[in-house]
Each structure stands twice: as structure tokens, then as C-alpha cells.
A and B are shown apart, each in its own frame.
Chain A
Amino acid sequence: MNTANDPLYTAPPATRESWVRLIVTLCAITLAVATAGYIRARQDAKAPDQLTNVQQLFQLKTFASSSHDLVLVGDSRVYRGVSPDAMRDVLPELRILNMGFSSGGMSDPLLAAAQAKLDRASSQQTIVLGVTPFSLTPEAVANEHWHSCNRRGPGSAVQHAGLRSALKAFRPVVEPPIPGVPSPNSAQYLQKYYADGWVASKMVPPQPQSALRQYQDNFSRSQVDPAVLAALCQKVTTWREAGIRVFAFRPPTTDEMVELEDELSGYVEEDVRQALEAAGADWLDFSGEFYLSYDGSHLSSDDAIRFSQDLAKRISSRYPR
């Protein structure tokens, strides 16, 4: 059947474009795209690499290469609260990775995995531990989330990481909006994912009490285990002997959350601090009153950036470069 008889078929226009016109246009398109990409690459060489989904984020951090100077370890307060890109405002020469995972506990396998992300040739190997009360509980050290990422394998995000890096020159010029995530309560949960491991998060409107109930439940099931702290200290000692700098801090959160954790979790900050300092870590003190949390546990994105810069300044002041 001749498609020209088909009523749905659009007849081609009567113009007589030549092959030359077609080839010249294709060359012009290629040239324009290459030129724009070159200009964009020069403009935004250091811009943070934003991801499209959360699965890519955790694949990338789980299977990141051993090419970093500083690795942050912890739970969601670390991956939502510390932006490596903001830290680089203060420590521009460092390659930083945020290895925080949901309910991340200070278990030996996770700590070993974090160490493996360091560049052995680097003279500035540093591990920064975000020690929350929950991260020292038996439930957290099971590290279900991290294990599930490991089981899933590297996936396309990691396989195409080099390609994505090359395609960075073709990043859109308009910043995409923060995607909305269905929230369990009547607030809008907004999150952006970055290849360096940070999740910029906020709730509109903020719900500063909303996480308290969940943490009450968490600590009714599982409390701080001294054996976990002892194993962590052991690991810190090993790192120090290997020449790796170690910093530890309690990620800032709301006063209500600190009170709840101190009351229910069995976490005594002074004891944790002394134990880690005895093992060779540098303890950094931060007060939650300077940073806003959107849900009573995690820092909202603007405050996370401010906190990350403060954290970097404190690290820098201990080891001036």
C-alpha cells in the first residue's frame, strides 16, 4: 500500500533540500554543540555534580574509587548534614567523599570500606566520623542499607561515571528544581542528590518535632553498645598507626533530640569523646543551636552548607596547610 494514500500520512513538502544542505546543517549542529560544551566546561569546571535519583547516589558512594583525601562516615545526619562541596570552599585542595548511609553504624566492614576510599598515595588521608548515638547501637552496626547497596552491585551509575564526568560539559544551564518526595506527614519533603554523597534536604514547612517519635522507637529497640564503641576505638588506633588523621564529632541536631538521645540511648558524650581521643581521634564540638533542623534530626540544606564550612574550618585549624 502506498502510504501517500493513507489519510494519516503527511506528504513531504515540495522543497528540494539537497544532501549538501543536510550535511552542512549537521556539521553546524555538531560545531555549535561542541563549542557550547567547551565554553560550559571552562565556566563550570568545579560545579557540583547533581544526580537524578537516590539509587545513583548510594551506588556511587558504595563503589567509589580509592581516590579521596578525606572520607566522612556516618548515618543520615552525615549524608544530609555535610556537603563535601561546601567543605571544599575551605579545603579546596582535598578530594572529599561523604560515605554516610541510612542508619549507618560504626561497624568494622563499613569503616574498612571507608578507609578503602582513601588514596594511599595521598599525604593527607583523613577520616571524619559523625558519631550519633544510634550509630553505636547493634541495630545500626548491622548496616542493612550499606549491605543492600553492596548486594545490588555497581550498576550503570558507576559504570558510566567516567562518561558522566565527560558529559558534565553539557550540563543544563537552568538549575533543576528540588524534586518533591512524598512525605509521611503534611509537609513537602525536598531533596537533591549530589555525586559527592551529600543529600540537600528540607521540609516545607519545617516539622521540628517529627523525627522525635521515631528515635524513641529506635532506642526502645536498640541502645548504645560499649562493645561497638570499643571496636571503633580499636579501628581509630589502627588508622592513626597507619598515618591516617581521624576526626570525630556528634552531628548537630535540635536540643530536644539531644535530650531525648541522652536520656534514652545510653550515649554519654563525654565518655565517647574521651574514648575516641584516647584512641587518637580529634574530637570536634558543635552546638546544635547554631543550625536549623527541618525535622528535629537532620539539618536543612542551607544550614548543612554552613555547618560543612564550619567543620572544614575546624579541621583546617587543627592541621593548617
Chain B
Amino acid sequence: MLFNSVPFLFFLPVVLTLLWLLRRTRNPRLLMLVAASFVFYGWWDAKYLVLILASGLIDFFCAQWIGSGEQRRKRFLVLSILGNLGILATFKYSRFFAQSLESFLRLYDVDVQLVAQIPADVVLPVGISFYTFQSMSYTIDVYRGKLAPTRNPLLFFGYISLFPQLVAGPIVRATTLLPQLEKPPRVSSIAAWEGLRWVVQGYFKKTVIADNLAPYVDRVFGTHHSLVTPTDWWLGVAMFALQIYADFSGYTDIARGLGRWMGCDFPKNFDRPYAATSLQDFWGRWHISLSTWFRDYVYIPLGGSQCTALRNHYNLWLTMILSGLWHGAAWPFVIWGAWHAAVLSAERITGLHRRFTGPIGLCFRRAVTLFAVFIGWAIFRAESLAQVRDAFMGMAFLRDPPTAGVLIDMSWLTYAILIGFVLMQFVHGIAGRLAEATRERILHWLEPPLFVALVLAAIFLRGPGQQFIYFQF
């Protein structure tokens, strides 16, 4: 089920009402939450609920055995990790690995048909990377002694399947969410208001900004390169940068808002990423729940920065390439991860990003970071390695440009979104400071009509309906 679908309009009030009715009874409330989350997920394809159940059961029992202090606790941790990665490898990466191996063997004139051996019904289940990572973090935290394993399967399944963040995050740690689910939900008027703010803002970002840009981005990346001008490429990449941000942060906002209505606080997942002054800063602002996951469960266990400089770069590259692969089973995602690793390594070696200070220096750093991020998005959005090459050649004016181009009929709304975004980058800081100073007085009167306007815009200025981009990951 999608947040921007009609069934969800009926589903949500029913769940919130039941949650309120069952607020004083723990297990019936948790049972209802799990059932609602399964209906939400099963709306797409009920048979893939088996995977959530399998992943959950493995981790629930492994955590029990790890927590019981047995000597073989490391084995159960390995079992949990292998179980989750096995599910991911089968459903997300099997075709990619098979295709890559086929191509590799073909270089040595060995012709094997591996992809054909994979059953046709092995498809990528929605949100598999999110819930397997969330589930894995639970057993690892139990192993590290940060968390006592829960003995209540309803509580555990409530944690891994909670519908607002099940398919596209944020990835919430068990240490944060389990205690919240255990307690009776308390929703104050402040929490309810804040939930409304996030939900309205999230829908606006998704339906007005992301969905109106999507057709033009699709057009640039769906057209033969001989028709795409350098301006098209740059504009297409810039629009994709804005689209993916509005799409994903919009989803997070809706998830956080729904969470507030259900008595839960999900962590912040974005913090004005395009205002970052270095790529390292960018990763502290973009998809924060994933980047901290990789930091805590991959980068630091590898040795992090507490090792030799060479080893540190190796850790960084491995983490970023794995992060790229997490996003999708295709070579452009691997290259995207490697590109970010390369820029991060360059930042560490040169330290250039720290040398520019003052307002002009910060502007320069922002521009350079944005450029690096845009190059990354061009790789990320490309359909294939060949298109990565075409995009770069087009962006670098290395092809004869066609006369017409493909972005010839952009609507006034699209121009308004792009100009609005650029202006937002400049006025955000000023507006933020102003809002801090006058929040009490102005926001109290400004927010209700603003919410009405945003909802009207989300309905009547929405773009062609699209699934959330991060569902595919």
C-alpha cells in the first residue's frame, strides 16, 4: 500500500482508531499493529510476508540464544547475519551476481546460462533492504550487550514491521523503538500537531515537487543520447537531485508524522543535505539512519579511522561500495558508491574542504560539494554503464548537441519548483533565524492556513502518480 494511494486513506483512520481503543492493553495493541503492518505490506504482494516472518523469526530466536549467555553466542550472531544476508542475496542480488558472472566467464569464452536458472518469480520484494537491516541491527545490539532481547514476539514483530517505516525507513534501532512500542502510546496535542506538520509537508514534497519533476527526469534518462543536449543533461541531473530528495525525505516526513500520531518518535533522516559543505558533511545530512547504520555496523567494526591511513581508506571504500550495492543490484550503484568513496578519500588526504572559511569560502565549499553530489546522482540515475558514459559525455559537451533537446515543454509549475528550490537555499538560513525568533507568535497563526494551502497544493498541483523511489531498494 502506498501513502499516496486511495486505500491508505481508509486504512489509516481505522488503524489509528483501533490503536486508541486498544491503548491500555499491550498485547492486543501490538497484535493489531503487527496485523495492520502485514496488511499494509501484503497489499503489494502477500506472499512476500513470508520473508519478513522468516527474517524476523531467525533474529528473534538468535537474539534469545545470544542473550541467554551461551558460549555459542557468536555462532548465533553469524546465523542471524547469514540468514538476513542470504535472503537479500537471493531476492535482491542473485540476478546481478549471475549476470556479472556470466559476463565475466564470457571473457574467457565460457558460455554458461546462470540467469536462466533463476526462477521467474524471484523478484525484488519492496523494502527488503530496510527491514533486513533493521532486523539485523537488533541481534547485533543484543550481541554487543546494548540491548536485552525481548521475549515478546509481538513486540519484536511490531518493531521490525511497523508500517509507517517498514518499506522505506528511516531504519530505526531497536534501542530506540522497542521501549516506545512497549509503553502505552501517549499522543499529546503538541505531538499530534507536529505529526500533522510532517505529514502535510511530506505529501507536498512527494506529490508536488518529486512527482512533477519525475516525468522530465524520466524523459532525459529515457531518450536516446543523440537527442539530449548538455543543458538537458545538467537540468535533468539537477531535477533528479531535487526529485530524489523530495521523494525520499517526503516519505520520511510522512513516516515520522504517522509515527507521532501512533505515539512513536522516529529519528531524523535528512538535514538540508544540499547545504553540506563537504561530502563528509553530506553523509551526516543525507539518509542519516542508513549512514549511521553503516558507520556503526560496518565501518567501525572494520577498524574505522582508528588504524593506519591506508587501512582507513580501505575501510571507507568498502563501506561506501557496500552502501552503493545496498541501493541496488547494478553496476552504476557500485560506481556511485566508489565515486563517493573517492571524493571522501580526496577530502581526507587534501583537507582542502577545511581550508576555505568565511561566507565566500563556505559558498565555494557548498558549490564543490553540490557538484560532486550531482555527478554522483548522474551515475545513480543512469539505467546502465553505457548511459553513465553517455551522460558524462553529454554533460562535458563531448558530443555534437542536437538542435531541439527534450526539455522543450516544461510547465510553469516545474519552473516554479526549480526557482523555489534555489531561492530556498538562500533564504533558509535567514528564514530559520527569523522563525526561531518569532515562532511562538507567527507560527501559531501562520501554520493553519499554510497547512490548508499545502494540502490543496498536494491535491491539485500534484504530478503524475509515482511510487516512492526508495521502495525499490
Q: Mark A162-206, 1 if CB is under 8 A from B, else 0.
A: 010001001111111111111101111000000000000000110
Q: Mark A9-21, 1 if CB is under 8 A from B, else 0.
A: 1101111111101
Q: A185-B224, A186-B227 are in contact. Are A15 and B465 (CB under 8 A)?
A: no
- For B191, what are the chain A residues with a Cβ–Cβ distance below 8 Å? 12
State the CA gap A294–B374 with chains docked (Å): 35
The one of A28, A170, A181 that contacts B448, using a Cβ cutoff of 8 Å = A28
- For B49, what are the chain A residues with a Cβ–Cβ distance below 8 Å? none
Q: A10-B268, A29-B455 are in contact. Are A18 and B189 (CB under 8 A)?
A: yes
Query: Do B460 and A1 touch (CB < 8 A)?
Result: no
Tell me whether A317 is interfacial, beta carbon within 8 Å: no
Tell me whether B451 is interfacial, beta carbon within 8 Å: yes
State the CA gap A179–B408 with chains docked (Å): 13
Name the residue of chain B whose CB is nearest to the CB of A13: B439
Number of B residues contacting the other chain (C-beta, 8 Å)?
Answer: 53
Name the residue of chain A whose CB is nearest to the CB of B460: A173
Stretch at the interface among B76-84, B175-183, B308-316: B175-183
Distance (Å) between the CB of A5 and the closest chain B CB? 10
State the CA gap A10–B252 with chains docked (Å): 14
The one of B6, B288, B452 that contacts A29, using a Cβ cutoff of 8 Å = B452
The binding surface of chain A is classed by DSSP as loop
What bracket does the count of chain A residues touching chain B fall in? 35 or more
- Please report which residues of chain B, range 263-292, place their CB below 8 angstroms from some CB of chain A when the two chains form the complex: 265, 267-268, 288-289, 292
Query: Do A179 and B460 touch (CB < 8 A)?
Result: no
Q: A32-B452, A173-B460, A174-B411 are in contact. Are A179 and B218 (CB under 8 A)?
A: yes
Name the residue of chain B whose CB is nearest to the CB of A181: B222
Query: Do B451 and A177 touch (CB < 8 A)?
Result: no
Distance (Å) between the CB of B171 and the closest chain A CB? 11
Tell me whether A287 is interfacial, beta carbon within 8 Å: no
Query: Do A179 and B193 touch (CB < 8 A)?
Result: no
Query: Do B451 and A186 touch (CB < 8 A)?
Result: no
- Please report which residues of chain A, range 4-46, place their CB below 8 angstroms from some CB of chain B when the two chains form the complex: 6, 8-10, 12-19, 21-22, 24-26, 28-29, 32-33, 36, 40
Q: List 19 A-B contacts (CB under 8 A).
A: A1-B176, A8-B289, A10-B268, A12-B190, A16-B190, A21-B193, A22-B196, A33-B456, A33-B459, A172-B459, A174-B212, A174-B413, A177-B216, A179-B464, A180-B219, A181-B222, A183-B223, A188-B224, A188-B406
Q: Could you tell me which A residues sit within 8 Å of B by CB distance?
A: 1, 3, 6, 8-10, 12-19, 21-22, 24-26, 28-29, 32-33, 36, 40, 52, 160, 163, 167, 170-183, 185-188, 204-205
